[in-house]
Structure 1
Amino acid sequence: MDIFPVGSRQSRLGEIDNFTGTVWREQIVAAPEPARVRAGFARFEPRARTAWHTHPLGQTLCILSGVGRVQAWGQKGRLVRAGDVIWIPPNEKHWHGAHSTNTMTYIAIQESNVDDVHVSWLEHVTDEQYDGAVD
């Protein structure tokens, strides 16, 4: 058993290649083999968001606080709020981020495939895509 005390994990800014706006990320766990689960916190400032991306084995988001937006490719975006849980199927192109006037914090959980890939990053979400995602 491993215990990681509060303060032992370092927050880092989301990489500009994969995020728009200010996003703070903090790894919760990258389990050692044979487990393949990864989980992390993400804190998004208003209008901050991920780039489009996929997960080979899917992803679960647990919204902890705030209001956010999620959108799958070809579908209308949806508002999400604290307490919501979102399942994103394997290889579904999608993005997620904060609402335009609120922050959002979530826990993201995904599993790596046999090649140790847990995410494939794609193009940035444009301002037009973001603004058109929800009313």
Structure 2
Amino acid sequence: MELLPVRPTVKTPAQAFTGDVYMTPIYNGTGPSRLTVALVRFTPGARTNWHSHAVGQTLHVTEGVGLVGTRDGSVLRIHAGETVVCPPGEDHWHGAATGTFMSHLAMLEARPDGGDPTTWLEPVTGEDYEQANQR
């Protein structure tokens, strides 16, 4: 058994996020585990860019109301206590709904080959974000 210390919270990079988003790393697996877990906090209206994960991603909402969108136009409105599973390779984005904070645990596995598990893409447009909030 090992007790891990609380790690510093960092502001996420502007090239992958719109708005103010903060991330606290929780766990980075060491072999054979490839699990990575982080607590991600989104301010109202903040969101990720479009992105995908080689081995998929699981999001567990801990606070607030958020949105998860996919390229086909599907949008899920997510609430505290709910979990969303994003399959490997699916382009998606997630963030806080308008007017509310949203926090989630982001869980994903590193790629078996050691490469970056996340492929970052273009920002979600303001128009697409506003349409998602209307649903």
Equivalent residue number for residue 125 of structure 1: 124
Equivalent residue number for residue 96 of structure 1: 94
Residue among 23, 26, 33 paired with 2:24: 26
Q: Secondary structure at the match of 1:129?
A: helix
Amino acid at match of 1:122: L
Q: Is the 8 A contact 1:78 1:134 kept in 2?
A: no
Q: Secondary structure at the match of 2:130?
A: helix
Amino acid at match of 2:33: A
Q: Is the 8 A contact 2:50 2:124 kept in 1?
A: yes
Residue among 42, 51, 54 paired with 1:53: 51
Q: Secondary structure at the match of 2:127?
A: helix
Whether 1:2 and 2:20 are equivalent positions in the alignment is: no
Q: Secondary structure at the match of 2:65?
A: strand
Unpaired segments of 5 or more residues in structure 1?
none
Question: Percent sequence identity over matched residues?
Answer: 37
Q: TM-score, normalised by structure 2?
A: 0.94
Runs of 4+ in 1 over 6 A off after TM superposition: none
**C-alpha displacement at 1:120, in angstroms?**
0.8
Residue among 7, 12, 37 paired with 2:10: 12
Alignment of 1:70-89 (within 5 A): 70-89=68-87
Q: TM-score, normalised by structure 1?
A: 0.94
Residue among 108, 111, 125 paired with 1:110: 108
Tell which deviates more after alignment, 62-71 or 75-84: 75-84
Paired with 1:40 and 1:84, the residues of 2 have a C-alpha distance of: 16
Unpaired segments of 5 or more residues in structure 2?
none
Aligned residue pairs: how many? 133
